[in-house]
Amino acid sequence: MKNIKIIISVLLLSNTIFAQIHIKGNVEIDMDLGLLNCSFNLSNIPEIEDYRILLNKGMNIKYFKNTKNELINYKGHYDGKMQGEAIEYTFRSKSTTSIPNEFSIIYKGAFPIYKNEFNPFDYKGIIAFNGETLRAAEQTKWYPVIYDASNDKLLNSYTYNVTVKIKGGNTVFINGTAPKKGNVSHFISKKPYPLLLFAGSYIFVENNGDYILNTSINTENAEKVFDNIEIIKSKLSSYLNLKFTDNIYLISHKAINKRKKGSSWGFNTYPAFAFTGLDFNNLVNEQGNISKRNFKYFGHEFAHNYFGSNVSSGKLSWFWSESIADYLSYNIVEDLCDMGYLKIVLLKEIEGIKDANFISLNKIENKNEINGKYRYSLGPLLLKCFEDTFGRNKTNLVLISLLEFAKSETLTLQHFKKSAMKSGINKDKFEEFENYFIKDENFKQNIINEIKKKI
Ligand SMILES: [Zn+2]
């Protein structure tokens, strides 16, 4: 009986974690007036007791409706609380406190257009009309984003079926599917993505399903950029013996603040990467390669094709998603740049963590204890030590096994151990590694010493 209970609760747990919210509906964009008109239905919403529905503060809600087409009363219109760029909404209901599995919403927003004019600042959270394009990343909450308060988790990657009508423009892109020309376009994705919207009047180039949007890059240079992307993708897929399935979208966009000449800022909403001020024609050098820095950057980002939202659950979620992605970028650097550059990278990472304090992985209680330095420096260095100890092949086999486990379970250190055994690593040797590099009081120093010794 106990076993049955455990099995049932595991099933329920994995359902909650891996349920994908679906968004369906219509978007109308008026590029000349800076208007967004949206009508959406959200379904397959997991049961969350302590929830908020987040919507950009510039959006005015017409109404929420339930599956019976009845109005739903809600809190947040008067004296609503802000969260980032959004206002928090919750439903007023006597019968239930959890968020319903499905609801509909209609809303409208008007935004300023910065055409030859500037805002003092620009960042990923702004719905930016610049007279040519509209940029609305998931961070803006231009579509309803669900916040799970007790887990402090934003649910913003949805599968979608969305029709976009555009006035004053001719091209629309929604993250995860190919950009489309025309005044009315229909976008469908069965894989969940954060919904970055990029629309307006622009051109794009395509190669093997990968795209560069809104840039006057010439065909020859575009091909070279795509060649580099292809090399990184095929390397990653050879490490993990799994096909690279995501198409990559590089977007050139114009910031709405005044920027120093030559300066550039970018953001990514995987698998899209947006840059401003970057000359795509100069992305590759005379030898036809992107810079070593970009090999590392793209290596990390593209590794999220494998270790992304699929492993983002549990206390160690940042380690599984970010540290493994970054560890894989070391191998991209080693294989596609040179050992010398990898040494520079590793030394820089060591420098960055030498004065920081970390909790060992086995004692992590809260997922945010794995902070930026932990995710992007300590974690990948720990995995590098694992590779130094057991070799690249076995390490790759461990990663492949973790991906298998992640299909139905939340990853833990137990899975790491099981994966090591499955990959032919001796139990005692694994425990020796675990005691020294994970559980030891001086684990950070042990990692630093090991990396230094190897380089
Ligand atoms: Zn990352």
Same domain, 231 and 136: no
- What value does the mean pLDDT take over residues 119-124? 95
380 alpha carbon – ligand 1 mean position (Å): 12
- What pLDDT does residue 272 have? 95
CA angle 218, 219, 221 (to 5 degrees): 70
- What value does the mean pLDDT take over residues 367-375? 94
**What is the sign of the dihedral through the CA atoms of 252, 256, 258 and 264?**
negative
Instruction: Please report whether residue 9 resides in a domain.
Output: no
Residues with CB under 5 A from ligand 1 (ion): 322, 325
386 alpha carbon – ligand 1 mean position (Å): 20
* Beta-sheet strand order (sheet of 22-30): 71-72, 59-65, 103-110, 35-43, 22-30, 157-167, 184-194
307 alpha carbon – ligand 1 mean position (Å): 9
301 alpha carbon – ligand 1 mean position (Å): 6
Number of H helices, E strands in the chain: 12, 23
Average pLDDT taken over every residue of the chain: 93
Same domain, 203 and 218: no
Q: Quick: pLDDT tens for 273-314.
A: 998 877 788 888 988 999 999 999 999 999 999 998 889 888
Percent of the chain with pLDDT over 70: 96
Residue 343, domain CATH:
1.10.390
Question: CA 145, CA 131: separation in Å to the nearest integer?
Answer: 27
Other CB atoms within 10 Å distance of the CB of residue 429: 12
Q: Quick: pLDDT tens for 407-429.
A: 999 999 999 999 999 999 999 99
**Residue 216 — pLDDT band, cuts 50, 70, 90?**
confident
Same domain, 109 and 225: no
Instruction: Please report whether residue 6 resides in a domain.
Output: no
Same domain, 116 and 261: no
pLDDT at 10 over 90: no
Q: Quick: pLDDT tens for 148-185.
A: 998 778 999 999 999 999 999 999 999 999 999 999 99
- What value does the mean pLDDT take over residues 62-91? 97
Q: 228 φ, ψ to 5°?
A: -65, -45
248 alpha carbon – ligand 1 mean position (Å): 15
Q: Quick: pLDDT tens for 240-256.
A: 999 999 999 999 999 99
247 alpha carbon – ligand 1 mean position (Å): 16
Q: Quick: pLDDT tens for 29-40.
A: 999 999 999 999
361 alpha carbon – ligand 1 mean position (Å): 19
Same domain, 141 and 152: yes
299 alpha carbon – ligand 1 mean position (Å): 10
Same domain, 324 and 424: yes
- What value does the mean pLDDT take over residues 352-381? 96
The residue range of the domain holding 389 is: 309-454
Same domain, 166 and 41: yes
- What pLDDT does residue 312 have? 85
**Contact by Cβ (8 Å): 423, 364:** no
- What pLDDT does residue 150 have? 86
- What value does the mean pLDDT take over residues 384-413? 97
Other CB atoms within 10 Å distance of the CB of residue 309: 18
Q: Quick: pLDDT tens for 316-332.
A: 999 999 999 999 999 99
65 alpha carbon – ligand 1 mean position (Å): 36
- What value does the mean pLDDT take over residues 62-88? 97
To the nearest 10 degrees (0 to 180), the angle between helices 413-422 and 392-406 is 130
- What value does the mean pLDDT take over residues 368-396? 97
Same domain, 318 and 442: yes
Per the structure, how many domains does the chain have?
3
Same domain, 202 and 92: yes
Identity of residue 195: L
- Of 222 and 12, the structure prediction assigns the larger pLDDT to 222
Does the N-terminal peptide bond of residue 271 adopt cis geometry, omega within 30 degrees of 0?
yes
- Which is nearest to 214 in space by CA: 285, 277, 164, 284? 277
340 alpha carbon – ligand 1 mean position (Å): 23
Same domain, 259 and 370: no
268 alpha carbon – ligand 1 mean position (Å): 9
CB-hemisphere CA count at 13 Å for 57?
Answer: 12
Instruction: Please report whether residue 12 resides in a domain.
Output: no
410 alpha carbon – ligand 1 mean position (Å): 19
Give the end of a domain, one of 156, 177, 207: 207
Q: pTM surpassing 0.75?
A: yes
Tokens of 100: 């319903």
**What is the sign of the dihedral through the CA atoms of 155, 19, 193 and 309?**
positive
Question: CA 177, CA 179: separation in Å to the nearest integer?
Answer: 7
**Contact by Cβ (8 Å): 382, 447:** yes
